[in-house]
Chain A
Amino acid sequence: MSAIESETPAPFGLGAYWICLRGIVWREGLRFLHQRERFVSALVRPLVWLFIFAAGFRQVLGVSIIPPYETYVLYDVYITPGLIAMIQLFNGMQSSLSMVYDREMGSMRLLLVSPAPRWFLLTAKLIAGVAVSILQVYAYLVVAYFWEIEPPTPWGYVTILPALILSGLMLGALGMVLSSLVKQLENFAGVMNFVIFPMFFASSALYPLWRVQEGSPWLATVCRLNPFTYAVELIRFAFWGKVDPVSLAVVAGCAVVFLAAAIIAYDPARGMLMRRGG
């Protein structure tokens, strides 16, 4: 038989969408497994914070009883949701970095010549990134468990999952929007400095908002406007088996807005691909 005979290609049905999504997630997973340095650094970064920063601060900083906690918690327990969100933030930025790289190298175009609609391809790419970030988070949680950081009931490991999916989508979509704004790979270090660090520090990741409020009401306002704060709180509550409706609404809303912006940016008829000339 001829290797390439063909008649009319089958129309892109529901099954084809599923195969396509699975293929994109599978490839992202394989690539991640092959980049061991990436996995190690994704794990080491939060652990450095946990073992060094939090260990030092636990003596200095007591955390009072604030929801969702019903007892005093150690500082390392307090910052764990922040570190989890940080893993996802870094992963989102890493994915967007690889999108800029892929765009320069051309493999982004391989994805975009699939007959599936572009919104679907971008969403699938986003889901693949979220899946990788969740792997990293659970790897971190395993180490944290041996550091005696665990939820009140083992169910916390289950209830955290939907929160991780939502926050991962939000942060990954944010990275995607940024990848469309960054014109060249070299500019990416700037993004790291101007997005990751302010987002992380001006949030409830390292200190509760009431403490920030005491120190600087202005900074507390910034923290309240920072979507990252809500990702942290969503994860914090979910890990403790609870739901914070405000965080849920903000994170879900931001995820939708960021994803819509990314889809517009990658639209063939407008957006940056045209301006840049591919």
Chain B
Amino acid sequence: MNARTTPSKAATLPAALAVEHVSHAYGARKALDDVSFEVAAATFAVLIGLNGAGKSTLFSIITHLYAARGGSVSVFGFDVGRQSGAALARIGVVFQSRTLDLDLTVDQNLRYQAALHGVAGGEARARGSALLQRVGLADRAHDRVRELSGGQMRRVEIARALVHRPRLLLLDEPTAGLDVRARADILALTRGLVATDGVSVLWTTHLVDEVKPDDSVIVLHEGRVLAADRAQAVMAAAGAQTVGDAFARLTGAAEEAAS
């Protein structure tokens, strides 16, 4: 698993994900208000926000479940609305809810995903077994998903999201419901994908302790972006010592301004 992608090449690419002035509303309720940020190629970006901040809506718009009322989203320069095929081919997604077929084997789940992306036969099998190796589940390929633990299922979902070799991986609260150890495993695995394989990651969470000083952070609160920068810079700007502190100060200030 040596990394053959070259960072210098990645730097010349357009942003892995560019969200530009996205607004969305359900009826009268505004869910997203002029949201803009970028995820550079081969970086680990954390979208952090409380429940109800608009993370899920944003996630749905990026994955083209529905179109935003305003603004645009592009993946490596491909507009999700107008060139959705090209954009979606470059995205791998791990959804918040478990989306594996429990009665099918791990291998069958991966092959279904490969087929959805037009990959079949020996190619699909080869990719599947390489990825299971990568997430440390090579020996479970022929087990039913039902027999796996929560953390193992998440790892299968990450492997599945990579079957079509996307350059951008989106994970929606991937650690929700996992124990401390499984959480750390998933986080380390995903960070490894960024470091060794040059994958770009957008990781949404409400848990501030998942952020490292070097990560990009996007703080989303009540549908608006309060900060989007390196975690260090966000902390410095907020005059905080920790990410959690910075987050509390930013959201607190936003609430004060609103009231």
Binding site for B on A (CB under 8 A): 1-6, 9-13, 15-17, 19-20, 22-24, 26-27, 30-31, 34-35, 105-107, 109-117, 268-269, 273-275, 277-278
Chain A's closest residue to B102 (CB) is: A34
Q: Which of A24, A30, A31, A277 contacts B26 (CB 8 A)?
A: A277
Q: Is B240 interfacial (CB-CB < 8 Å)?
A: no
Chain B's closest residue to A272 (CB) is: B66
**Chain B proximity of A186: nearest CB distance (Å):** 18
Residues of B within 8 A of A114 (CB): 88, 116-117
Asked if residues A31 and B167 are in contact (CB atoms below 8 Å), the reply is no
Asked if residues A278 and B57 are in contact (CB atoms below 8 Å), the reply is yes
Residues of B within 8 A of A10 (CB): 118
Q: Taking A112-B65, A277-B31 as contacts, is the C-beta distance between A31 and B114 under 8 angstroms?
A: no
Q: Which of B3, B101, B166 has the most CB of A within 10 A?
A: B101
Chain B interface, number of residues (Cβ within 8 angstroms): 58
Question: What are 16 A-B contacts with C-beta separation under 8 Å?
Answer: A1-B1, A2-B4, A2-B197, A3-B127, A4-B166, A9-B90, A13-B118, A22-B115, A30-B103, A34-B104, A105-B97, A106-B99, A110-B113, A114-B88, A115-B86, A117-B85
**Chain B proximity of A180: nearest CB distance (Å):** 13
Q: Is B95 interfacial (CB-CB < 8 Å)?
A: yes
Q: Taking A4-B165, A19-B119, A106-B95 as contacts, is the C-beta distance between A278 and B89 under 8 angstroms?
A: no
Residues of A within 8 A of B193 (CB): 4
Residues of A within 8 A of B197 (CB): 2-5
Q: Which 7 A-B pairs have the closest CB atoms?
A: A23-B115, A16-B118, A6-B165, A106-B97, A34-B103, A114-B116, A3-B130
How many Å lie between the Cα of A1 and that of B100 in the bound state?
Answer: 27
Asked if residues B99 and A2 are in contact (CB atoms below 8 Å), the reply is no
Q: Is B250 interfacial (CB-CB < 8 Å)?
A: no
Asked if residues B85 and A115 are in contact (CB atoms below 8 Å), the reply is yes
Asked if residues B199 and A4 are in contact (CB atoms below 8 Å), the reply is yes
Q: Which of A9, A26, A109 contacts B112 (CB 8 A)?
A: A26
How many Å lie between the Cα of A6 and that of B1 in the bound state?
Answer: 13
Asked if residues A116 and B67 are in contact (CB atoms below 8 Å), the reply is no
How many Å lie between the Cα of A162 and that of B135 in the bound state?
Answer: 46
How many Å lie between the Cα of A6 and that of B193 in the bound state?
Answer: 13
Asked if residues A3 and B118 are in contact (CB atoms below 8 Å), the reply is no
Q: Taking A1-B130, A5-B4, A23-B116 as contacts, is the C-beta distance between A113 and B99 under 8 angstroms?
A: no
**Chain B proximity of A17: nearest CB distance (Å):** 7
How many Å lie between the Cα of A106 and that of B172 in the bound state?
Answer: 12
How many Å lie between the Cα of A1 and that of B133 in the bound state?
Answer: 12
How many Å lie between the Cα of A32 and that of B93 in the bound state?
Answer: 26
Q: Which of B3, B64, B112 contacts A23 (CB 8 A)?
A: B112
Which residues of chain B from 122 to 141 have a CB within 8 Å of any chain A CB?
Answer: 127, 130-131, 133-134
Residues of B within 8 A of A19 (CB): 115, 118-120
Residues of B within 8 A of A13 (CB): 118
How many Å lie between the Cα of A115 and that of B92 in the bound state?
Answer: 11
Asked if residues A277 and B57 are in contact (CB atoms below 8 Å), the reply is yes
Residues of B within 8 A of A34 (CB): 103-104
Q: Is B241 interfacial (CB-CB < 8 Å)?
A: no
Q: Which of A1, A4, A110, A273 contacts B99 (CB 8 A)?
A: A110
Residues of B within 8 A of A27 (CB): 101, 104, 108, 112, 115
Q: Taking A3-B134, A9-B164, A115-B86 as contacts, is the C-beta distance between A274 and B1 under 8 angstroms?
A: no
Q: Which of A3, A15, A20, A115 has the most CB of B within 10 A?
A: A3
Residues of B within 8 A of A115 (CB): 84-86, 88-89, 117-118
Q: Which of A5, A22, A30 contacts B5 (CB 8 A)?
A: A5
Q: Is B149 interfacial (CB-CB < 8 Å)?
A: no
How many Å lie between the Cα of A15 and that of B119 in the bound state?
Answer: 9
How many Å lie between the Cα of A11 and that of B63 in the bound state?
Answer: 18
Q: Taking A106-B99, A109-B95 as contacts, is the C-beta distance between A24 and B66 under 8 angstroms?
A: no
Residues of A within 8 A of B51 (CB): none
Asked if residues B120 and A113 are in contact (CB atoms below 8 Å), the reply is no
How many Å lie between the Cα of A3 and that of B64 in the bound state?
Answer: 26
Q: Which of B64, B65, B118 has the most CB of A within 10 A?
A: B118
Can you list, as one digit per residue, whether each of B170-184 has a CB less than 8 Å from chain A (1) or not (0)?
A: 000000000000000
Residues of B within 8 A of A274 (CB): 26, 66-67
Q: Is B96 interfacial (CB-CB < 8 Å)?
A: yes
Q: Which of B66, B166, B196 contacts A6 (CB 8 A)?
A: B166
Asked if residues B67 and A17 are in contact (CB atoms below 8 Å), the reply is no
Asked if residues A268 and B65 are in contact (CB atoms below 8 Å), the reply is yes
Residues of B within 8 A of A273 (CB): 65-66
Residues of A within 8 A of B155 (CB): none
Chain A's closest residue to B133 (CB) is: A3
Asked if residues B116 and A12 are in contact (CB atoms below 8 Å), the reply is no
Asked if residues A113 and B93 are in contact (CB atoms below 8 Å), the reply is yes
How many Å lie between the Cα of A270 and that of B5 in the bound state?
Answer: 39
